[in-house]
Structures are given as C-alpha cells and as structure tokens.
Structure 1
Amino acid sequence: MKPKRDWAADWISNNDDTVRGFPIFVGGASLLAVLVNRAVTGIAPVADASSSQSRADLLTLGLAVTNILTGLVWLTIRPKSISVVNPQGVECRFIFSHLPDFVVSELLWAWESLSGVTCCRSLVVVYDRRCIVQIGVAAESVNSEALAVDAAKLMQGSLYQAAIKSASQSYLANLSLYPGRSELPFLPLNTQAWITLIGEKLDATLAKYVTNERLAVQDRV
C-alpha cells in the first residue's frame, strides 16, 4: 500500500518563495484597499479618533504592516542547506578479529543499511570498552593509514558520556561549530555532522557474544 501523499505540504515545498512572500502581498493589498476606501468614500485623510471608520482603518493598517514585516522576515531568514561533500580521508574496514560470524554479519548489515539509504560515510561501534568496528572513511594518520579509534579516550569525552546518560540519540548538525569536534579525530577532516546513538539491536547481538565469551573463559579456568 502506497503512503498517502500530503499535497498541501508538497505544494508549499515546491513554491517556497511564493509562500514566504505571501504575507507581503496580503499586507500591500490591505494598505491599498484602505487608501482606495478613504478616497472613494470621501473620508478625510487625517485619522479622527472619534470616527469608528478611522479606528477600523488604523487597525487594518497595523495588521497590514505586521503582514509586510512578517513576509520580509520569512524571505530573509532561510534554513541553511548543507551540500554533500566527499570525505577527506582513507578507506577503513576494521572489525574486531575475535567476533563470531553472526556478529560480523549483523555489523556489516547495519553498515550497509546506513550507507545505502543515508549520507553516512563512517561508522564506529564501541562496545565493552573497546572499538569493535571502524568502517567507511577515516581520518588519515601520519603514515597514510586510517587513524584508529582510541576507545578509552572517546569514552571519557562529553559526547560519549552524554549518550550514555541520556540513553537516547544525540547529534551535532554542524560539527565545525562545536568544540566536540576535538573528541572525534578519527573522522574525516571535513565531516559535517555526527550522530551518537545506542544501537539496541546491535547491543542484543553483542551481548550474546560477550556472554558466550565469558562462559568459555570460565570453562577453561
């Protein structure tokens, strides 16, 4: 079943300039209507506080000016569009070597899903105090290789701590404007945005691996 389209939203999106300038047209038409009305009816151009017509005209003029100012604000303030850039770095495909096949398959599925339907070009997964996945484009180190993730340092940063405390998604829409950029040296230099979240599905899969690993260690002991 196809999702129902919102025709009003589509029309507004396709006619953004017209919609933003609409209050100016309404305000200008209201001003013109007041002037024409006073000229045709022979009312004195000077407002008279004792006249109900003058009071109505003053109210109309105030609303018209408000509409014009609103339209000017809408035309001036626009959301800044961020253009897609090519990440400056090197290709990286690090996966923790001791992970079983079913965990690796789950992690690769997550990466392929993200990179396929979004602009995501880098994925880092930190679990059990270590980086188990670093895939996509990474920052280039001095020896022209991918810069590895320092999991211990990352976990001490404010971005990681905020995600753990809130247990919800957080993001920086414009990474260059926030000091948190220094906590992410492993990302490409021109990274525009960063999203931190707790992957519940991955957590369930990785929890099985960690539990089995600890049981195996106990058996060997």
Structure 2
Amino acid sequence: MAKADRNQVLRQLPLVVGGLAGVLLLFNRLLTPELTQSQARSDALGVILSAVLILTGLLWQQVQARSPDAVELIGEEGFELAPSLPDAVRTELAWASHLLLTNTATRSIVVWYQGKVLLRRGILGTNPEVKPGEILQRVLSKQKPVYLVNLTLYPGRIEFDFIPENTQGVICQPIGKDGVLILGANAPRSYTKQDETWIAGIADKLEVSLSYYLNDVAPAEI
C-alpha cells in the first residue's frame, strides 16, 4: 500500500472506531431488559469516548495535510558534465548532485554557471541549453532563491524548457553572481524549509569551488 493510502486509512480510523462503538452501545442498550446504574454509567462513558473518537477523526480530516501527488517525470535518466572541467570540479558537482537526488524530493538537476551548463543529472529535459528568462535573471540580480511550489500554475514556466516538461516544483538557487542551481521535483510543495536551507548551503559550497577552479580566485575560508 502506498504511503498516501496508509495516511488516508489512519485519518479515517478514529471515525470508523468511534462510529462502530456508538452503534454497539446502542444495540447493547436496546437488548438490555433492565438497566442498572452501573451499566448506565458505563454507557455514558462509552458514548463520551465514541464522541471523542469521531471528533478526533473529523479534525484529522481537516488539519492533517495530504501528501502531494507525485508524478513520473517525462524524460530519460542521465548524468552529463561539461567537457574539459577540472577533475576537482567534476567531483564536487557529482557529490553535490548525488546528495540532492538522494536526500530531497529533487529528481532533475541543472547547474548553470558563467553562461554554460556544467551539469545535468537525474531526469533530463529535451533541451540541453539554458537561456535565462525573467525568473533566472531575477535570481541572479537579487541574489535570492525562487521557489515555485507548483510550476504548472506559473505562466513563466515556459522558460524552464531545459527540465522535464511535467516538473511539478522548482527551486532556483543562486551560485554567487555567476550561476544558478536549478532543482526540479516530481511533486508540488515537496521542499521543506530545512531542504531550502540545506540547498542554499550546498550552493554556497559550489560557489567557493567553482570560483576557485574556474576563475583562479582563492577560496574563502569556511
């Protein structure tokens, strides 16, 4: 059974148990020829417990968020690095992308730096080139990440033709002033605040390495 199905069963369990208990108490009362004081007290307690279970079930239906529906991204899985990259940069990009793919909802990764695509990994889009549109330009100019929680709702999604066309959520994280780390997820609203903080830390680490090996700038102390 899928995780979403298990959560649905758990949300409905108090309703089912509370309703069943209430029905059994009713039948027990109807089939009892003579009601004693002790049974009356037991019935009253049972009714209260059944009501609490039903109320809990109703609250769970409203309060507990349903897991976002994931889709299977359209495209082929792959791992591409730009040619002629130093071995240290290749290792750094491989390490960072592996962590993101295995520890977050990320299914597609693109690293764009100094006008070039340095890495594509995960489910690949059909277009291997990145031409920064309005959203990526804003990320670069303001040096602040953009998280599109549900990409299908944004008209600007057309600029993300370099990731799978049915990508559900996108994070664009600046890599200094020269690059962007673009992450695509297969479900909307799938990144947590902790994920966003961690992604920002990885992007900062990439900035140090890329600026050092590609620009001959000494890395800052971390």
TM range (shorter): 0.5 to 0.7
Counterpart pick for 1:164 among 143, 151, 163: 143
Identity of aligned residues (%): 25
TM-score by length of 1: 0.53
* TM-align CA RMSD: 4.8
1:70 and 2:58 are equivalent in the alignment: yes
1:20 and 2:1 are equivalent in the alignment: no
Q: Report the equivalent of 1:130.
A: 115
Q: Equivalent residues in 2 for 1:35-74 (5 A)?
A: 36-37=28-29, 40=32, 60=48, 63=51, 66-67=54-55, 70=58, 73=61
**Mind listing any 5+ residue stretches in structure 1 that lack a counterpart?**
1-11, 44-51, 141-145, 215-221
Contact kept, 8 Å, 2:17 with 2:53, in 1: the verdict is: no
Name the amino acid aligned to 2:20. Answer: G
**Mind listing any 5+ residue stretches in structure 2 that lack a counterpart?**
174-199
1:165 alignment partner, SS class: coil
Name the amino acid aligned to 2:88. Answer: F
Q: Which has the higher strand share?
A: 2
2:207 alignment partner, SS class: helix
Looking at CA atoms only, which structure, 1 or 2, has the larger radius of gyration? 1
Q: Report the equivalent of 1:93.
A: 80
Q: Distance in 2 between matches of 1:111 and 1:91?
A: 12
**1:82 Cα deviation (Å)?**
1.6
2:143 alignment partner, SS class: helix
1:130-168 CA-to-partner distances (Å, cap 9, x unmatched) read 34424235443xxxxx341013655325xx3699336xx
Q: Distance in 1 between matches of 2:5 and 2:94?
A: 37
Name the amino acid aligned to 2:130. Answer: V
Q: Report the equivalent of 2:22.
A: 30
TM-score by length of 2: 0.53
- The number of equivalent residue pairs is 179
Contact kept, 8 Å, 1:92 with 1:134, in 2: the verdict is: yes
